Chain A
Amino acid sequence: MSVLADQFTAHTFVDAFRFIGDNASLMLSKTGQTCELAFAALGIALALALPLGLWLGHRHRGLFLALGVSTLGRALPIIVLIAFGLTVLGVGFWNNTAALVVLGIPPILTNAYFAVDGADRDAVEAARGMGLTERQVLLRIELPLGLPLIVAGVRISAVFVIASATIAAIAGGGGLGDIIVNQASYGLAGVIAGSLCVSAVALLTALALGLVHRAVSRSTTARA
């Protein structure tokens, strides 16, 4: 029984890799679609959440908002968001993008807030004392000091958005999710192949942002 199961498992993964090889162009275009959807949403989330988080953190205001948004972001299931979106907006790219943006905002907003809010108060005070304007204080002192935390937030957000972009396939989002939720058309090998590809996308993105995090952490500690 267990031998059978093992063989079955091994075969499945061998088949999955064969599937990727046989359908290279399909996999590539699907991966491209997933990336397009996820990174577009991440970009919009970044553009909205980063300035807001930085500004609130700089003013040391909106702690409640920052905390509430992060809890709400965790509590909102992507499926529910997409289903809501479908009932309101119907099938489409923008429905999915909107849902992903909503999910991508919280980690960025919250981390940006705490990064700036928690920047060394003595350094900030000294900068003000030296005559830096508020804008300069934020951009030259608080932002560099808080950069590791901000990048960590972007990383969490990216992982979250990629996972959600995959699920968005149920609302016609396209991409690798299409294959994963459609065993009838692609077979188990296809489903596993799609899962492997999207995992690779998520892991590579996390790895890249992890390296950025490391680099900025090192430079802030070296400066400190």
Chain B
Amino acid sequence: MIPVLGGSGPVIPSFGSGSSCEQNNGWWCTDWLREHWGDTLQPALVQHIELVAIAIAAGFLIASVLAIAGFRYRLLDVPVGGFADFLYTIPSIALFQLLVPFTGLTVLTVEIALTSYTLFVLYRNMVAGLRGVPEDALEAARGMGLTRVQTFFRVELPLASPAVLAGLRIATVSTVSIATVAAFVVPKGLGEPIFIGLDQNLFKTEILAAGGLAILLALAADVALAWFARAVTPWSRA
């Protein structure tokens, strides 16, 4: 088959007037980084964050509606959870391509796919969180005269929030990682400099820098969300 990569030709300078280290393509070239941070990596990082933020926001919204429905009406839980599981199982690159005939090579395609992947974890954790609210607290709430709505907002929702936030953490880290695949569809996000680096005869600095940024972004999101969860659920530390 036709290999996607150009094999092992002579090293062609990646970007026009590169410095010497760029031409040598050693392990690390700070000159390149300094020169191209502004026009390559920084925009890619910002785009990446945007792609992820939109997908997570949309996924959270959709999963919330589905979870409340699946929690109230148990009959819905199996089909909804099963469908989210189904979407989650389709390999990312295949899902991207399968959407192309519908929505083209657009950001919309990317967002639909990324959002689909968040649903499974978010939905499952939300439902588990709501189901896990202790029976005695619910009985006390009813006995004290809290209405259905008051019980939901004052008791069920806060008690479900540790599980919901744990799901959000997992979904966010995964989405940061999967969003690198988006570059197959649109030239956006941190996947793009990696593909360019691969195309430019494995230009190492660009690959390492963009890949490192993607991993750091995922880990930073993980730490930030863990900290946030700790801050808003002080009782779970007790």
Which residues of A are found within 8 Å of B85, using beta-carbon distances? 206
Q: Known: A71-B222, A75-B173, A75-B177. Contact between A172 and B93, CB under 8 A?
A: no
Q: Is the CB of B191 within 8 A of A178?
A: no
Q: Is the CB of A74 within 8 A of B174?
A: yes
Q: Is A31 an interface residue (CB 8 A)?
A: no
Q: Which of A71, A84, A87, A185 has the most CB of B within 10 A?
A: A87
Q: Is the CB of B88 within 8 A of A177?
A: no
Q: Which of A77, A162, A188, A198 contacts B100 (CB 8 A)?
A: A188
Q: Is B126 an interface residue (CB 8 A)?
A: no
Q: Is A45 an interface residue (CB 8 A)?
A: no
The docked-state distance in angstroms from the alpha carbon of A84 to that of B198 is: 10
Which residues of A are found within 8 Å of B92, using beta-carbon distances? 163, 167
**Closest beta carbon of chain A to B184's beta carbon, Å:** 7
Digit string of A192-205 for contact with B (CB within 8 Å is 1, else 0)? 10111011001100
The docked-state distance in angstroms from the alpha carbon of A159 to that of B88 is: 9
Q: Is A76 an interface residue (CB 8 A)?
A: yes
Q: Is B202 an interface residue (CB 8 A)?
A: yes
Which residues of B are found within 8 Å of A166, using beta-carbon distances? 91, 93-94
Q: Is the CB of A199 within 8 A of B218?
A: no
76-94 of chain A: CB within 8 A of chain B: 76-80, 83-84, 86-87, 91
Q: Is B215 an interface residue (CB 8 A)?
A: yes
Which residues of B are found within 8 Å of A181, using beta-carbon distances? 4, 93, 184
Chain A interface: which of B10-18, B35-43, B203-211?
B203-211
The docked-state distance in angstroms from the alpha carbon of A144 to that of B154 is: 40
Q: Is the CB of B101 within 8 A of A75?
A: no
Digit string of B146-178 for contact with A (CB within 8 Å is 1, else 0)? 000000000000000000000000100110111
Q: Is A180 an interface residue (CB 8 A)?
A: yes
Q: Is A12 an interface residue (CB 8 A)?
A: yes
**Closest beta carbon of chain A to B128's beta carbon, Å:** 14
Q: Known: A76-B215, A87-B207. Contact between A71 and B173, CB under 8 A?
A: yes
Query: Secondary structure of the A side of the interface?
Result: helix
Question: How many residue-residue contacts, CB under 8 A, span A and B?
Answer: 140
Interface size on B, residues (CB 8 A): 47
Q: Is B118 an interface residue (CB 8 A)?
A: no
**Closest beta carbon of chain B to A190's beta carbon, Å:** 10
The docked-state distance in angstroms from the alpha carbon of A163 to that of B174 is: 13
Which residues of A are found within 8 Å of B214, using beta-carbon distances? 77, 80
Q: Which of A9, A178, A196 contacts B1 (CB 8 A)?
A: A178
Q: Which of B98, B174, B198, B222 contacts A195 (CB 8 A)?
A: B98
Q: Known: A87-B202, A182-B2. Contact between A192 and B89, CB under 8 A?
A: no
Query: Secondary structure of the B side of the interface?
Result: helix
The docked-state distance in angstroms from the alpha carbon of A211 to that of B211 is: 37
Which residues of A are found within 8 Å of B180, using beta-carbon distances? 77, 79-80
The docked-state distance in angstroms from the alpha carbon of A188 to that of B190 is: 25
Which residues of B are found within 8 Å of A163, using beta-carbon distances? 91-94
The docked-state distance in angstroms from the alpha carbon of A202 to that of B197 is: 30
Q: Known: A74-B170, A181-B184, A182-B2. Contact between A9 and B91, CB under 8 A?
A: no
**Closest beta carbon of chain A to B41's beta carbon, Å:** 14
Q: Is the CB of A77 within 8 A of B211?
A: yes
Q: Is A102 an interface residue (CB 8 A)?
A: no
Which residues of B are found within 8 Å of A198, using beta-carbon distances? 91, 93-94
Q: Known: A191-B97, A195-B98. Contact between A79 and B191, CB under 8 A?
A: yes
**Closest beta carbon of chain A to B144's beta carbon, Å:** 34
18-76 of chain A: CB within 8 A of chain B: 71-72, 74-76
Q: Is B238 an interface residue (CB 8 A)?
A: no
Pairs A–B under 8 Å by Cβ, sample size 17: A13-B101, A71-B173, A74-B170, A75-B177, A80-B180, A80-B211, A80-B215, A91-B5, A162-B91, A163-B92, A167-B93, A170-B5, A172-B3, A191-B97, A196-B94, A198-B94, A203-B89
Chain A: residues with CB nearer than 8 A to chain B? 5, 8-9, 12-13, 71-72, 74-80, 83-84, 86-87, 91, 159, 162-163, 166-167, 169-172, 174, 177-178, 180-182, 185, 188, 191-192, 194-196, 198-199, 202-203, 206
**Pairs A-B, 3 closest by C-beta atoms:** A80-B211, A75-B218, A163-B91
